[in-house]
Amino acid sequence: MSKNALSIFNQLRPVSVGFDNIFDHFERMFEGDFFETPTVNYPPYNIVKTGNNKYDIELALAGFNKKDVSIEYADNLLTIKSVKKEQAEQKDSEGNVLHKGISQRYFSKSFTISEDTEVKGAELKDGLLKISLERIIPESKKARTIEIN
């Protein structure tokens, strides 16, 4: 599968201009065990289009607060992960925990963001982390009419 996919990218390179970084990204995806590793479904998430060029990534993070989550954005990779904290001790019968059946799951989830998309902000409310994104289209890339002389 890898060799076949790479040959497709190599065939497209001569007929495209300025897409080298996209082809490089796809080639990295096909290298190694990328498609063989099992996908982790935690935490569940939605990607919602909220406007013409606006998107939200929503992650269900019940039981987490702002201090429990870290969001990093570098090299077009948005990474959301839980922050490890020290384990609480088991407590006694005066309103303290006798049995801990709800575990604090640790996670790391990454999303590849296009170069023309900006991360506008993040909000954690009622167990739902919402990260707002906006695609910024420069004037040079917007559709325009060319006048014929």
Residue 102 identity (one-letter amino acid): I
Phi–psi pair at 23, nearest 5 degrees: -65, -40
What average pLDDT does this structure show over 29-57? 77
**Residues 105 and 126: beta-carbon distance below 8 Å:** no
Quote the pLDDT of residue 17: 59
- Sorted by where each begins, the domain ranges of the chain are 1-37, 40-85+99-139
Sheet containing 117-125: which strands, arranged edge to edge? Answer: 45-49, 54-60, 128-135, 117-125
- For the CA atoms of 10, 15, 19, 21, the dihedral, rounded to the nearest 10 degrees, stands at 20
What's the confidence (pLDDT) of residue 1? 46
Q: Summarize pLDDT for 45-91 with one digit per residue, the tens.
A: 999 999 888 999 999 998 888 998 999 999 888 999 998 765 555 55
Residue 96 vs residue 39, higher pLDDT = 96
Out of 3.20.20.60, 3.40.50.150, 2.30.30.700, 2.60.40.790, select the CATH number for domain 40-85+99-139.
2.60.40.790
